[in-house]
C-alpha cells in the first residue's frame, strides 16, 4: 500500500511530511499490495475516479453537506434513481452502515456509492457502523469492478463524529478489506477532505498502515 498526501490532485505528486514517497511494501502478507491511498483536500464531486462515495441519510432522497453537493453535481436523474431504489429494493430506506450504488449521471465518476453514517449526535455511537460504511462501500466498489474510489469524511459533518474517529474507521475498514479482498479491482482509494484540519487526522491514521 502506498499512502500519499496530494496538494494538487491532478499533478499526481504524492507528498507526505514534505517528502515524496514511492511504492511502499507494507501489509501483513495479505491483501492488495498495489493499492494506493491518497489524502486530498477539495470537492469530491470533481474527482475523476470510477466511483465516489456519498455520505447520505437513510431516506436516500438528498440532504445537505456532501450529499447535497453530489446531488447538485450529478443532476436530477440521481434523485430519480434514488426514488426508484426506494420504490423497489429499499422501501424502508438504507440502514446506517449499509451501502448501495447508482450511476454517476452528470459526474465524471461512473458510479456513486451511497452509504449512511451512524448519527452520533442522535445517539448512534457504535463505531462498527462507521467502519461498515467504509467496508461496505469498498465491497460494492469491488463488485462493480471499480479501480478507483473516492471517499468523503463519512459521518464527520452533520452526524458529529470527530476527524480522528472517521479516519480510524477508514483505516480499520481498509485493513480488513485488503485482507479479505486480495484480488480486488480497487487500486486507488482517495480520501477527499473538504476541511484542511481533517488532513492531519487522516495522515496520522493511515500512516499506521505503513
Ligand atoms: N466534497 C468533500 N467533502 C465534503 C463536501 C464536498 N463537496 N461537502 C461537504 N463535505 P456531511 P455526515 C464534507 O455533513 O456527517 C447530509 O445532510 C464535510 O465538511 O456531508 O455523514 C446527509 O443527507 C464533512 O467533513 O455528512 C445526512 O443527513 C464530511 O463531508 C447527513 O448530512 C461529511 O459531512 C450526513 O452527515
Predicted confidence (pLDDT) per residue in 81-104, tens digit: 999 999 999 999 999 999 999 999
Q: Is the pLDDT of residue 3 over 70?
A: no
Tell me what the mean pLDDT of segment 176-187 comes to: 95
Regarding the beta carbon of 155 and ligand 1, being less than 6 Å apart is answered: yes
Domains of the chain: total: 1
Distance from Cα 26 to the centre of ligand 1, integer Å: 31
Residue 12's domain spans which residues? 3-209
Lowest-confidence pick of 2-11, 21-30, 63-72, 188-197: 21-30
Q: How confident is the model at residue 138 (pLDDT cuts 50, 70, 90)?
A: very high
| 24-47 per-position pLDDT tens digit | 233 344 455 678 999 999 999 999
| 168-178 per-position pLDDT tens digit | 999 999 999 99
Rounded CA separation 91/109 (Å): 26
Regarding the beta carbon of 192 and ligand 1, being less than 6 Å apart is answered: yes
Kindly report the CATH number assigned to the domain that includes residue 194: 3.40.220.10
Distance from Cα 66 to the centre of ligand 1, integer Å: 4
| 102-129 per-position pLDDT tens digit | 999 999 999 999 999 999 999 999 999 9
Q: Beta strand pairing status for 15-16 and 36-41?
A: unpaired
Regarding the beta carbon of 191 and ligand 1, being less than 6 Å apart is answered: no
Tell me what the mean pLDDT of segment 2-25 comes to: 35
Instruction: Tell which wins on pLDDT, 126 or 209.
Output: 126
Distance from Cα 29 to the centre of ligand 1, integer Å: 35
* 59 Cβ neighbours under 8 A, 6+ residues apart: 86, 93
Amino acid at each position: 500500500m502506498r499512502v500519499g498526501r496530494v496538494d494538487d490532485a491532478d499533478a499526481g505528486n504524492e507528498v507526505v511530511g514534505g517528502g515524496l514517497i514511492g511504492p511502499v511494501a507494507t501489509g501483513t502478507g495479505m491483501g492488495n499490495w498495489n493499492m494506493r491511498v491518497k489524502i486530498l483536500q477539495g470537492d469530491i464531486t470533481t474527482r475523476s475516479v470510477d466511483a465516489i462515495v456519498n455520505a447520505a441519510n437513510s431516506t436516500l432522497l438528498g440532504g445537505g453537506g456532501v450529499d447535497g453537493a453530489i446531488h447538485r453535481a450529478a443532476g436530477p436523474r440521481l434523485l430519480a434513481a434514488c426514488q426508484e431504489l426506494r420504490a423497489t429494493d429499499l422501501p424502508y430506506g438504507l440502514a446506517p452502515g449499509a451501502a448501495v450504488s447508482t450511476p454517476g449521471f452528470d459526474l465524471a465518476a461512473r458510479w456513486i456509492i451511497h452509504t449512511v453514517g451512524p448519527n452520533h449526535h442522535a445517539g448512534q455511537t457504535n463505531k462498527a457502523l462507521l467502519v461498515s460504511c467504509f467496508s461496505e462501500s469498498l465491497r460494492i466498489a469491488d463488485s462493480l469492478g471499480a479501480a478507483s474510489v473516492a471517499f468523503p469524511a463519512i459521518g464527520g459533518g452533520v452526524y458529529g463524529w470527530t476527524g480522528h474517529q472517521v479516519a480510524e474507521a477508514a483505516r480499520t475498514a481498509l485493513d480488513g478489506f485488503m485482507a479479505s479482498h486480495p484480488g480486488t479491482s480497487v487500486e486507488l482509494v482517495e480520501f477527499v477532505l473538504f476541511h484542511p484540519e481533517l488532513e492531519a487526522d487522516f495522515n496520522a491514521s493511515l500512516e499506521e498502515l505503513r
